[in-house]
């Protein structure tokens, strides 16, 4: 019913207009046909008069009535002529054909003059007393007769055919316009459907918060997307209640209820504290440039437990006990760091090889070719076994909660399950998950999926990545996908697949020691040698080819081309931490970034001005936060990113509610932060346009956007990420405990 109603609403006004037009056109056509036919009849009467004039005048003057009658009969031989008569000027009949209607004689006398000559009068007589409609013409034949008076020929012609033609013309006009109306209605509905189906598809995508890579959404749909996301955030906030926001304390309390005495066990390759021996012989503690670490560390400080990681620092062995354990954070000791050792060769195969030359490019759409070596795979298996063994060693109960982190450990969940069947294993994949076709190129695709399915829950940042994982499982693993529960059931055991968008702690504890915006800006500007009126953009990344660093420099270059007035005023500082340096592709990206920086600085720089400043070294968190606070804008240009926590850290740092975030649409964070300026980093016009917009943005618009983004990040903080995962895990544990209880009750009842 609905489509019909919609079509009617759309087409009714034009239908009414066209129908009115049809009526008017029908009437006009009838009138035209009548006028044309009437004048034809008048002309025929005139012709009859002029051809019979001589004969009739002569016969009448001679009193030859027989001749008059003959001539009149000749005139009525024409099919259209009904009757003819000769009469005097006062309408006294002289002679007529048979059944000449008297009415014709009367009317002829009063008919209108033709052309004002008085030669011809004619009019139409409509049916009367059973007579057919007729056209009567009264034609003067002489000025004087033999008796000294005028004589006139009266011709009565059939008028019914004129009326019939008139009726048909009206009907045709109505019919044709009616047909046109129908055609227009059908075409309107079809074209509206066709246009609206594309639009509706786009609208649906906007409502789901999706984007088509490479296709800029229309401004209207972009507004819809922003609106929907804001509403969703508001609804979520309402559902959880104002006091229901996840905080450190709430997470701690939930964990106490859930875990009783035991803490969490986290398996993650990167350790949160790296002990490094400096050239001067001193040992320093470094915090790695890792989104994973900055997200998980506050969770561990809150929940306590054990973090099992690769001991990669040059002074790591000497700073822990014989079992590789030490209490962290240094001086605080909220949880245990358990270091796992590996040889150089093992690290090469497991970390550099399979994890970062194989899985990393496999999962990121950044156009780097994955490399799969059997020797790397063997090391990957070996190290996953080693971490699984470490979990068993660290577990104080037979059903611990284990959080397995990232693509380094796809096999570990199954291995842990084999060793601790009652463990609750939550695996979180921090990077994008590719579609089945792409994933299928990995020679060990089945083993990887089977390994992950050892988990109780597998989590991703977005629903899209959950869907791609389910699609890959469906394609390569014998199992059943439960679409309602969003789970994979294999051998009677279910693995839930859920989106948990990761985030930062709120508020960020490291910010406590960072000076406010003005002071941070003064310090950073002084360090970089910038004038007070300088405009500063910032980027903070590992030197990785997925981060779009080349494109970022090109966007700055394009900005300065578009806006030469910014040369000398706009500076972009890139904090770049060296990463995975043994891998050739990382060496290439480092060279490419340095070349790009050199090029732009040679082109636009002076002795005192560098448009791009590259700080290629490790930066500790409090320094990074100073740069976030000092900058006017932050540009995150990832070509593909699971979430990207730099964007959320920048927002968290901006408690002055100013600063603009320019964010790649290919970072998971773009789904949650519609108030950033969202760009396609490959599109230099769009990206440089957004940078220009950020430079120009009024403080009030900055405030509006920043407040909205801060509300989202405050709400969706990392305690919520961990809390939601752990609550789901707790439900699974309760269910498992209930079924265990039931089977032991059953056993004791039957023995």
Q: Using CB under 6 A, which residues numbered 532 to 551 contact ligand F6P?
A: 542
- State the Cα torsion 497-503-507-509 to the nearest 10°: 100
CB of 502 to ligand F6P, least distance (A): 9
Eight-state DSSP code of residue 633: E
Residue 462 binding ligand F6P, by CB under 6 A: no
The window from 212-220, 250-258, 288-296, 614-622 that contacts ligand F6P (CB under 6 A) reads 288-296
CB of 637 to ligand F6P, least distance (A): 15
The window from 250-258, 285-293, 340-348, 668-676 that contacts ligand F6P (CB under 6 A) reads 285-293
Closest among 177, 692, 179, 728 to 485, alpha carbons compared? 728
In contact, 596 and 560? CB cutoff 8 Å: no
CB of 294 to ligand F6P, least distance (A): 8
CB of 488 to ligand F6P, least distance (A): 23
Residue 639 binding ligand F6P, by CB under 6 A: no
Q: Which contiguous run of DSSP H or E holds residue 249?
A: helix 248-259
CB of 540 to ligand F6P, least distance (A): 12
Other CB atoms closer than 10 Å to residue 308's CB: what's the count?
Answer: 31
CB of 644 to ligand F6P, least distance (A): 8
**Secondary structure string (H, E, C) spanning 271-296:** CCCEEEECCCCCEEEECCCCHHHHHH
Which residue lies nearer to ligand F6P by CB, 355 or 653?
355
Which residue lies nearer to ligand F6P by CB, 10 or 615?
615
224-227 contacts, C-beta under 8 A, 24 or more apart: 225/674, 226/674, 226/675
Which residue in this structure is represented by tokens 């316009």? 177
CB of 407 to ligand F6P, least distance (A): 7
Which residue lies nearer to ligand F6P by CB, 137 or 356?
356
Which residue lies nearer to ligand F6P by CB, 41 or 540?
540
CB of 223 to ligand F6P, least distance (A): 32
Report residue 328: phi and psi, to 5°. -135, 165
The window from 100-108, 286-294, 370-378, 686-694 that contacts ligand F6P (CB under 6 A) reads 286-294
Which residue lies nearer to ligand F6P by CB, 247 or 579?
579
In contact, 665 and 679? CB cutoff 8 Å: yes
Which residue lies nearer to ligand F6P by CB, 291 or 358?
291
Q: Is 302 exposed, middle or buried (0-12, 13-18, 19+ CB in 10 A)?
A: buried
- State the Cα torsion 317-319-323-327 to the nearest 10°: -140
Residue 448 binding ligand F6P, by CB under 6 A: no
The contact mask relative to ligand F6P for 229-268 (x = CB under 6 A, - = no) is ----------------------------------------
Report residue 48: phi and psi, to 5°. -60, -45
Q: Report, in this order, helix, strand and coil percent for the chain, each rounded to 5.
A: 55, 15, 30
Tell me which of 202, 271, 376, 406 binds ligand F6P, using CB under 6 A. Answer: 406
Structure tokens at 218: 């229309």
Dist CA 152 CA 119 (whole Å): 9
Tell me which of 292, 300, 466, 725 binds ligand F6P, using CB under 6 A. Answer: 292
Residue-level length of the chain: 751
Q: Is 445 exposed, middle or buried (0-12, 13-18, 19+ CB in 10 A)?
A: middle
In contact, 607 and 513? CB cutoff 8 Å: no
In contact, 408 and 440? CB cutoff 8 Å: no
The window from 77-85, 289-297, 512-520, 565-573 that contacts ligand F6P (CB under 6 A) reads 289-297
Tell me which of 155, 320, 362, 431 binds ligand F6P, using CB under 6 A. Answer: 431
CB of 235 to ligand F6P, least distance (A): 30
Which residue lies nearer to ligand F6P by CB, 520 or 579?
579
Which residue lies nearer to ligand F6P by CB, 310 or 632?
310
In contact, 427 and 413? CB cutoff 8 Å: yes
Which residue lies nearer to ligand F6P by CB, 31 or 587?
587
Which residue lies nearer to ligand F6P by CB, 408 or 733?
408
The window from 24-32, 284-292, 531-539, 549-557 that contacts ligand F6P (CB under 6 A) reads 284-292
In contact, 517 and 656? CB cutoff 8 Å: yes
Q: Which residues are paired to 85 by β-bridges? A: 96, 154
CB of 415 to ligand F6P, least distance (A): 20
Task: Give the list of residues 6+ apart from residue 240 with CB closer than 8 angstroms, or none.
Answer: none
Structure tokens at 346: 């093992």
Tell me which of 34, 379, 430, 716 binds ligand F6P, using CB under 6 A. Answer: 430
CB of 538 to ligand F6P, least distance (A): 19
Residue 291 binding ligand F6P, by CB under 6 A: yes
CB of 725 to ligand F6P, least distance (A): 16
DSSP string, 473-530: HHHHS--EEETTTTEEEETTEEEEEEE------SS-GGGGGSPPHHHHHHHHHHHHT-
Q: Using CB under 6 A, which residues numbered 571 to 600 contact ligand F6P?
A: 579-580
Question: How big is the site for ligand F6P, counted in residues (CB under 6 A)?
Answer: 11
Residue 270 binding ligand F6P, by CB under 6 A: yes
Report residue 433: phi and psi, to 5°. -110, 130
Dist CA 459 CA 445 (whole Å): 18
- State the Cα torsion 255-259-264-265 to the nearest 10°: -160
Which residue lies nearer to ligand F6P by CB, 38 or 294?
294
CB of 323 to ligand F6P, least distance (A): 23
Dist CA 397 CA 380 (whole Å): 27
Tell me which of 11, 42, 157, 290 binds ligand F6P, using CB under 6 A. Answer: 290
Closest among 176, 141, 119, 173 to 56, alpha carbons compared? 141
The window from 158-166, 287-295, 504-512, 602-610 that contacts ligand F6P (CB under 6 A) reads 287-295
Dist CA 193 CA 261 (whole Å): 62
CB of 577 to ligand F6P, least distance (A): 8
CB of 199 to ligand F6P, least distance (A): 36
Which residue lies nearer to ligand F6P by CB, 26 or 548?
548
Which residue lies nearer to ligand F6P by CB, 430 or 610?
430
CB of 639 to ligand F6P, least distance (A): 13
DSSP string, 345-362: HHHIIIIIIIIIIIIHHH
- State the Cα torsion 656-659-665-670 to the nearest 10°: 10
Which residue lies nearer to ligand F6P by CB, 56 or 718?
718
- Give residues in contact with ligand F6P (CB under 6 A): 269-270, 290-292, 406, 430-431, 542, 579-580
């Amino acid at each position: 019913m609905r489509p019909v109603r919609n079509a009617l609403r759309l087409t009714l006004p034009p239908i009414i207009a066209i129908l009115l037009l049809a009526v008017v056109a029908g009437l006009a056509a009838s009138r035209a046909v009548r006028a044309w036919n009437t004048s034809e009849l008048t002309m025929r009467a005139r012709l009859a008069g002029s051809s019979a004039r001589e004969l009739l005048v002569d016969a009448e003057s001679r009193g030859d009535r027989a001749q008059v009658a003959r001539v009149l009969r000749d005139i009525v031989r024409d099919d259209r002529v009904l009757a003819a008569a000769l009469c005097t000027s006062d309408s006294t009949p002289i002679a007529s054909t048979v059944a000449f209607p008297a009415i014709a004689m009367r009317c002829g006398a009063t008919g209108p003059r033709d052309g004002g000559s008085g030669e011809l009068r004619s009019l139409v007589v409509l049916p009367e007393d059973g007579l057919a409609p007729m056209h009567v013409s009264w034609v003067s034949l002489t000025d004087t007769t033999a008796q000294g008076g005028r004589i006139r020929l009266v011709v009565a012609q059939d008028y019914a055919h004129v009326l019939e033609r008139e009726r048909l013309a009206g009907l045709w006009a109505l019919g044709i316009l009616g047909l046109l109306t129908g055609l227009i209605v059908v075409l309107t509905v079809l074209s509206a459907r066709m246009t609206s189906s594309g639009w509706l598809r786009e609208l649906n995508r906007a409502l789901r918060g999706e984007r088509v890579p490479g296709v800029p959404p229309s401004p209207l749909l972009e507004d819809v997307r922003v609106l929907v996301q804001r509403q969703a955030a508001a609804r979520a906030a309402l559902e959880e209640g104002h006091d229901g926001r996840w905080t450190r304390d709430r997470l701690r309390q939930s964990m106490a209820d859930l875990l009783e005495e035991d803490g969490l066990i986290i398996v993650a390759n990167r350790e949160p504290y790296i002990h490094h021996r400096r050239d001067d012989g001193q040992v320093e503690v470094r915090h790695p440039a890792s989104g994973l670490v900055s997200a998980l560390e506050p969770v561990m400080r809150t929940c306590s437990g054990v973090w099992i990681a690769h001991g990669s620092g040059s002074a790591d062995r000497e700073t822990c006990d014989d079992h590789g354990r030490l209490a962290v954070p240094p001086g605080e000791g909220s949880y245990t760091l358990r270091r796992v050792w590996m040889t150089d060769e093992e690290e090469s195969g497991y970390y550099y090889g399979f994890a970062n030359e194989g899985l990393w490019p496999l999962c990121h759409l950044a156009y780097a070719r994955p490399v799969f070596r059997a020797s790397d795979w063997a090391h990957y298996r070996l190290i996953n076994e080693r971490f699984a063994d470490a979990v068993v060693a660290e577990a104080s109960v037979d059903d611990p909660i284990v959080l397995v982190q990232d693509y380094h450990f796809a096999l570990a969940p199954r291995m842990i399950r084999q060793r601790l069947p009652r463990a609750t294993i939550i695996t979180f994949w921090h990077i994008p998950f590719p579609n089945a076709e792409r994933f299928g190129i990995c020679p060990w695709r089945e083993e990887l999926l089977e390994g992950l399915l050892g988990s109780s829950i597998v989590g991703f940042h977005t629903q899209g990545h959950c869907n791609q994982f389910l699609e890959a499982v469906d394609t390569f693993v014998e199992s059943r996908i439960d679409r309602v529960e969003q789970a994979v059931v294999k051998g009677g055991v279910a693995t839930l697949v859920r989106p948990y968008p990761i985030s930062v702690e709120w508020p960020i504890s490291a910010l406590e020691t960072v000076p406010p915006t003005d002071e941070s800006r003064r310090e950073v500007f002084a360090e970089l040698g910038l004038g007070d009126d300088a405009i500063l953009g910032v980027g903070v990344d590992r030197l990785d080819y997925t981060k779009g660093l080349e494109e970022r420099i090109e966007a700055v270059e394009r900005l300065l081309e578009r806006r030469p007035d910014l040369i000398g005023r706009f500076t972009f500082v890139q904090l770049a931490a060296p990463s995975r340096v043994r891998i050739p592709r990382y060496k290439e990206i480092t060279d490419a970034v340095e070349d790009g920086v050199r090029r732009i600085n040679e082109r636009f720089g002076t002795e005192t001005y560098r448009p791009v400043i590259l700080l290629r070294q490790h930066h500790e968190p409090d320094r990074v936060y100073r740069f976030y606070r000092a900058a006017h804008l932050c540009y995150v240009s990832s070509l593909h990113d699971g979430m990207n926590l730099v964007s959320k850290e920048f927002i968290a740092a901006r408690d002055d509610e100013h600063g603009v975030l320019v964010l790649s649409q290919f970072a998971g964070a773009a789904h949650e932060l519609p108030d950033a300026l969202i760009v396609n980093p490959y599109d230099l016009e769009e990206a440089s346009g957004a940078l220009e917009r950020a430079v120009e943005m009024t403080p009030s618009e900055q405030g509006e956007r920043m407040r909205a983004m801060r509300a989202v990040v405050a709400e969706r903080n990392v305690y919520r990420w961990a809390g939601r995962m752990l609550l789901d895990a707790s439900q699974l544990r309760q269910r498992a405990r209930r079924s265990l209880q039931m089977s032991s009750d059953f056993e004791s009842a039957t023995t």
